[in-house]
Structure 1
Amino acid sequence: MSSARKNLNSLARWALDVQLKPLRALDPLIRPERGWIRAIREALGMTTGQFAKRLGVSQPRVAALERAEANEVVTLKSLRHAAEALDCELVYALVPKKPLEDVVRDRARLLADLQLARTNHTMRLENQGVSKQRMERAREALAEELLRNDRRLWADV
């Protein structure tokens, strides 16, 4: 992988981390058991018939839409239309549990650990084991090499 490509990947991770940082700080929202659409519709005091008219669909279609959301099979397009009909904003994001740079670095260290464990096991069998300090330096060096070629990071191990 070229240095420019690696820098672009790193820059993309940084930009996404900056954009997602405010969302990561929020407490995760728990979707109401029967879904956001129904919860908001009912909180507004809107009947399924009234909502159907605002959506431009039949009343049974509203019931199907609400079931689809509750069962997690609704489409983003349907959610967007429902949000507009309820005068809401659809907020959609995948929010990593930790910064993307940390995810990539942790993965590189995991792969380095796996690779070094196999090597160290063989060396110990031959009575050539290395010190813990040397293993840690080798781990960091191998992790940095993996980071330079980050397409290898997500290959099956």
Structure 2
Amino acid sequence: MKPEVRQRARERLDAKLAAIKPLDQFAVPPKGWIRAIRDAIGMSGAQLAQRLGMTAQGLVSVERSEAQGRIQLNTLRRAAEAMDCVLVYALVPETSLTEMVERRARDLALKALSRVSHSMALEDQQVDRDFEKRVQTYIDTALRDRDLWERA
């Protein structure tokens, strides 16, 4: 993917993801979403279990696995559909994707340029006064998006 296309894709995803922030509004209820919604709509465990084609004890196990964060997405999707709900699944970065990429590029540039600056200082050579400009030039010329996530 070309860098300009990747940047536009990041910006579109950032706009979509901004709509679901702050994330604390989607905090999982203590007993899980299945149990919370089932209780809120007045559906018994036996009724939901029947809709899912399992025993009441099987549903208890499903609800427990969700509350513990071990549930499979397919199982969660089936439970949602059985309660006339839709499972919404998303990975939401703590910052924007654009900020994440910019921060990673800057970290790598600083690491690379600090080694050079240190070597120059040891050799008694003067280091550029405009370090920020050197950092941005390094990012623009030496780093590609795919290089950002290699182990450093």
Residue identity in the other structure for 1:154: W
Which residue does the alignment assign to 2:148? 153
SS at match of 2:51: helix
Which residue does the alignment assign to 1:36? 33
Which residue does the alignment assign to 1:92? 89
SS at match of 1:108: helix
> Is 2:42 the counterpart of 1:45?
yes
CA distance in 1, matches of 2:74, 2:132: 49
Shift of 1:89: 2.2
Which residue does the alignment assign to 1:67? 64
Which residue does the alignment assign to 2:99? 102
Shift of 1:39: 1.5
Q: Which blocks of at least 5 consecutive residues in structure 2 are unaligned?
A: none
Task: Give me the CA root mean square deviation.
Answer: 1.8
Shift of 1:17: 1.5
The 10-residue stretch of structure 1 (42-51 or 134-143) with the greater mean CA deviation from structure 2? 42-51
Which residue does the alignment assign to 1:116? 113
> Is 2:124 the counterpart of 1:130?
no
Residue identity in the other structure for 2:65: A
Percent pairwise identity? 42
Q: Which blocks of at least 5 consecutive residues in structure 1 are unaligned?
A: none
Deviations 1:95-135 (Å, cap 9, x if unpaired)? 1222211211111111000001111111111111414x422
Which residue does the alignment assign to 1:8? 5
Deviations 1:65-105 (Å, cap 9, x if unpaired)? 11110111111111111111122221211112222112111
Contact map agreement 1:109 1:143 (CA 8 A) in 2:
yes
Shift of 1:14: 1.8
TM-score after normalising by structure 1: 0.87
Contact map agreement 1:24 1:96 (CA 8 A) in 2:
no
CA distance in 2, matches of 1:12, 1:64: 40
Which residue does the alignment assign to 2:139? 143
CA distance in 1, matches of 2:72, 2:132: 47
Shift of 1:8: 2.1
CA distance in 2, matches of 1:136, 1:7: 23
- Greater RCO (CA < 8 Å, at least 6 residues apart): 1
Shift of 1:60: 1.7
